[in-house]
Chain A
Amino acid sequence: MNLIIGGAYQGKLEYARERFGLSDEDICLCSEDRQPDLSKSCLYHVEQFVMLCMKNGRDPALELADWQKEHKDGLLICEDIFCGVVPTDRQTRLWREATGRFMSWAAREAESVTRIFCGLPQKIK
């Protein structure tokens, strides 16, 4: 498993397409309203998947256990939502924390972690 993290609009997906040779068929755009298509090797906006799990009272890491086995070279792309002021809205606050914990787990599991800044990759792991 590989991870890409970075702020909004930094060029994460563009970088992922280039580095891992992904086409549209490989990418699942996650949403807080529906189950992701786990046959895809790349889960984009995985922070939205964390929100979905939170709403359903599930652990996103457990939910991805089978996906992780089936996609040894799978890719998670997450938006960095961690640096702002503590959100006043409770759900947003808990979501931010849940995503942080999830990404820390994912980073431990991952072969590589790359942060994107102004379109440029920075190797973190």
Chain B
Amino acid sequence: MKVLISGGVKNGKTYHAQRLAKALSGKGPLYYIATMAPVDREDDERIARHIAEREGWGFETIECPTDIMSCVYRGRPEGVFLLDSTTALLANEMFSKDGSVDHSAAERVAEELRAFASCVEGIVVVSDSIYSDAQTYSELTQEYRISLAYIDRALAKSFDAVYEVCCGKIICHKGSLLEGYGKESLENKENKVQGGKV
């Protein structure tokens, strides 16, 4: 099963993505594809917090800030992969450290993600909804938003399910909620993300 999860920041996307990936994997291998390339202390702290939150879930972490296809060789194809997030992956692929910009990153990353998804048993991809405000952005930021939206739409089209997470609740836009998982999560009374561990 291939699932795209998006929504606003700190609304519980990662939490649900982790639970969903775990439910999908059963007793099979479970991988967390970490895409963030840390640049400062704030990032280091964010990563440490994410690692602590994943503790005990059974994820094997694969660091992969660029070139997602390389994960094919770093995990077993019968496993379930959680990729968090397209937002960071695209930024890493689009903007190089030398200051250059890859203007074709959207098409390339979307294609690589689709190809990678077709190679593995299950994948849960997390993205961010950054499209609903009245701000005027710089040309480059605008290009980044267009690119991320392109990837979102490409994955939404080819994946089995698309969920939006809002205030820790799941809105299903495509496919259905996983048997057993969905019901529990919709009623979730003790969402850990809301529980203050943020």
Spell out A's residues near B (CB within 8 Å). 6-11, 80-85, 87, 92, 95-96, 117-120, 122
Contact = CB atoms under 8 A, between A and B. Distances in A.
Contacts, number: 66
Interface of B: 4, 6, 8, 129, 131-136, 145-146, 149-150, 152-153, 155-157, 162, 164, 171, 173-174
A84 B157 contact: no
Given A9-B145, A9-B146, A81 B134 contact: yes
Contact of A120 (B8, B149, B174): B174
Contacts of A9: 131, 145-146, 149-150, 153
B153 A119 contact: yes
Interface of B is mostly: mixed
Given A9-B146, A117-B162, 5 more contacts: A7-B132, A7-B149, A80-B131, A92-B136, A119-B152
A81 B145 contact: no
A89 to B, nearest CB: 9
Contact of A87 (B129, B134, B146, B173): B134
Q: Most chain-B CB neighbours within 10 Å: which of A82, A87, A96, A118?
A: A118
B67 to A, nearest CB: 24
Contacts of B4: 118
Contacts of B132: 7-8, 80-84
A119 B152 CA distance: 8
Contact of A8 (B145, B156, B157, B174): B145
A85 B174 contact: no
Contacts of A118: 4, 6, 149, 152-153, 155-156, 162, 173
Contact of A92 (B131, B134, B173): B134
10 contacts: A7-B129, A8-B145, A8-B149, A9-B149, A10-B149, A84-B134, A92-B136, A118-B4, A119-B156, A120-B173
Contacts of A95: 134
B149 A117 contact: no
Contacts of B153: 9-11, 118-119
A90 to B, nearest CB: 12
A51 to B, nearest CB: 10
A17 B155 CA distance: 21
A83 B164 contact: no
A81 B157 CA distance: 24
A120 B131 contact: no
Contacts of A84: 132-135
Nearest to A122: B173
Nearest to A95: B134
A120 B133 contact: no
B131 A10 contact: yes
Given A9-B146, A9-B150, A122 B171 contact: yes
